[in-house]
Structure 1
Amino acid sequence: MISSIVRLPTVDSTNSWSLGWLRKATETQLQQELPKLVVAEQQTAGRGRHGKSWFAAEDGLACTLIVQATIELLSIAVGVALAEAIEMVAGPTSVQLKWPNDAWMNERKVAGVLIERHGEGAIRGESYFAIGIGCNLRQHPTLDQVEAGAVPPTSVAEATGKLISKDQILDTLAPHLLEVIEEVRNQPQDLLQRFESRNVLRGKTVVCRIGGRSVQGRCEGLQGDGSLLLRTNEGLLACNSGDVRQLRRHGSI
C-alpha cells in the first residue's frame, strides 16, 4: 500500500526530487511515509539511463516510487509490473519488454524506467530506491526529441486507440508495482518467465558492453540473476550493462 503521495505542478525530474527528499528525510519520515509516490503534472528535465534525456509530453505520466527493496531482480520486476499495468488499463493489448525494462508497443517504445539507489548502505539486504517511470499516454515525443538511433516512440493512445488518464494508469500501476516487487522474494522464477514472454530481444542479434568492450551476439534470454545471456563467438556471455542495442538489417543499429 502506498503510504504517501506528493503531487508536483512542475519539477525538473521526479527522480531528482525524490533523491533530494531521501537525503533530508528523518528516520521517522522513512518509516511513516514509505512507500512514497511522487507525481509530476509537468516534468521539464526527465532523465533516462546512462545520462540520456527522457522527453515526456505534458499529458504523459512522469512519476517516481520511493521504496525500500532489495536490488536483486528489481529492474526486471519493475519492467514486468509496468507492462502488466498498461495491459490491465488499456487492454486487450500486448506490451513487450526490451531488457532491462523499457516497455514497447507495436515495436516502438511507450515507456521507460530509471532506477536509482540512495546511498550505499543496506539494511537487512535492502536499500532505498527511487524508481522513475515515464509513459507516453496520448502524445509522444517527436523524432527530433529522441536520441539519434533510438527506437521511435509511440503512445498508449496511438497503439490502442484508447485515451488513458494519468490517474487511471496510476491507480493500477502503483499498487501493482509493490505487489511485483514483493514477488521477487517468493516467486523469482515466475517473474523471469513473465519477462521472457515479453522479451523483444530474444533470438535477435544485439550489441552491448561487456567488460568495457563492445560485444555482439544472439540473445538467448535471461539468466537467473536477470542478466541478458548472449551467444557470441567466445561462447555464452552475460550482459549487465543496461545499454543494449538490436543489430538491424544491413548492419545498422
Structure 2
Amino acid sequence: MMECESSALPALSPSELSRLTARTFVAEVEYHEVIGSTNDRAKELAERGPVRLPVLVIAQRQTAGRGRGENRWWTGAGSLALSVLLDLKRFGVGAIHTPLVSLAAGIAVVEAVRACVPRFPLGLHWPNDVYLAGGKLAGILVESTAGGLHVLGIGINANNTAAQAPAELHSRVATLRDISGRYHDPAAILHRLLQGLETWLGRLGKMPHQVGRQANELCLQRGRLVCLRHLEGTAEGVCAGIAADGALVLQTRGGQQAFYAGSVVEMARGLENPGSDQAGSMKGKERGANPPDCGHGPLAPH
C-alpha cells in the first residue's frame, strides 16, 4: 500500500486496503482521509511515473470532487470516492470503444450495490450515472492522461445521507444508507466493485456489444421524454434505450436517432409526438460546449 498524506486512521483499515491488492486486479492502493480530487491525484501519479498499474486512489472525503464538464461532485462523510488509474489497452479496449467505459463502470457499480438495496429500482442513467429509487446514487468520470492512460473516477453515496448534502441536492440524491436504513460495509462494496470493473472491462475488450446490451437492460430512462444537450445544439425525444454500441437512442419527431455524447438536462414521462430541435445523429465527445437548453428548466447536477 502506498503512503498517504494523512496520519489519521482511515475508515478502511490497513488490512482491508491490503486485501484489495491481494484479491482484486489493482496493484497499488493509495488512501487519503481528505483530498481535493481522487481523479486529479491519479493523473499526478501518471505524470510522475513509472507506477505499477492499476492504481487505486481512494478518499474518505473530497474537497474538490468533479463531475462531467464544469459540474462538481458532492462527497459527504461516509461516501466512497475513488479513482483507478489504468491502461485500457491491457484489457483490449481500443479507442473506438472508450465511450463504453463509463457504461461498463456503471454496470459494475449496480452489481456491487444491488445486494444492499434488493427491493428498490436501481439502474443506469446514460451516459455516466447510477440512480436508485429516483435519486442519484453514483457518478462516473472517465479522463485520459497525456501518456495514454485513463483515470476511471467513481463516487458512490454509500453511508452518507442526503441530509448532509447542499439544500438544492436534497431531493436529487439517493444514498444506500437512506434507502435501506442501515450501514453498509465499505470494504465489501469496494471489493465487489473492483471485481466487477475487472470483469466488465475485460468483456468490453473482447465483446463490447455485451456491455451495451447490459447497459440497455439497466437503462432507467427508457420511455421518458429526454432533452439532450450536445455540441450541435439540443435534441428532444422519448428514450428508446441504449444501443449495443453505447449510443443513447431517442424516438424524435424526425424518427429514431442515436447520440454518442451529450448531457441529459431534463426527463419526464414519455409524451406523444416528441419534438426534436436537432435532426440527425451526432458523434464525438462533448468538449467545452455551451448549447442552449431545451427550455424546460435548469441543468441537473452531475
Same fold (TM over 0.5): yes
Give 1:92 shift: 5.8
Aligned residue in 1 for 2:165: 142
Instruction: State whether structure 2 residue 59 is matched by structure 1 residue 59.
Output: no
TM-score under structure 2 normalisation? 0.73
Structure 2 gaps, min length 5: 1-24, 272-294, 298-302
Give 1:90 shift: 4.8
Deviations 1:138-186 (A, max 9, x none): 223535254xxx9710100112223113222111111211111111123
Equivalent position SS for 2:82: strand
Equivalent position SS for 1:46: coil
Maintained 8 Å contact 1:84/1:95: no
Give 1:114 shift: 0.8
Show the 5 A alignment for 1:213-224.
Answer: 213-224=233-244
Equivalent position SS for 1:51: coil
Equivalent position SS for 2:172: coil
Structure with more strand by fraction:
1
- Gap change, CA 1:36 and 1:93, over 3 Å in 2: farther
Equivalent position SS for 1:183: helix
Aligned residue in 2 for 1:195: 215
Maintained 8 Å contact 1:75/1:100: yes
Distance 2:168 2:48 in 1: 34
Structure 1 gaps, min length 5: 122-126
Equivalent position SS for 1:182: helix
Distance 2:171 2:249 in 1: 22
Distance 1:95 1:85 in 2: 11
Maintained 8 Å contact 1:206/1:246: yes
Maintained 8 Å contact 1:36/1:67: yes
Deviations 1:180-229 (A, max 9, x none): 11111233333222211221111111111244211111111122320111
Amino acid at match of 1:134: G
Aligned residue in 1 for 2:37: 13
CA RMSD of aligned residues (A): 2.2
Aligned residue in 1 for 2:288: none
Instruction: State whether structure 2 residue 156 is matched by structure 1 residue 132.
Output: no
Equivalent position SS for 2:35: coil
- Gap change, CA 1:210 and 1:62, over 3 Å in 2: closer
Distance 1:56 1:165 in 2: 17
Instruction: State whether structure 2 residue 130 is matched by structure 1 residue 106.
Output: no
Aligned residue in 2 for 1:179: 199
TM-score under structure 1 normalisation? 0.86
Equivalent position SS for 1:169: helix
State the structure with bigger RCO (CA 8 A, min sep 6), 1 or 2: 1
Aligned residues: 239
**Displaced runs of 4 or more, over 6 A:** none
Give 1:94 shift: 4.5
Distance 1:215 1:185 in 2: 31
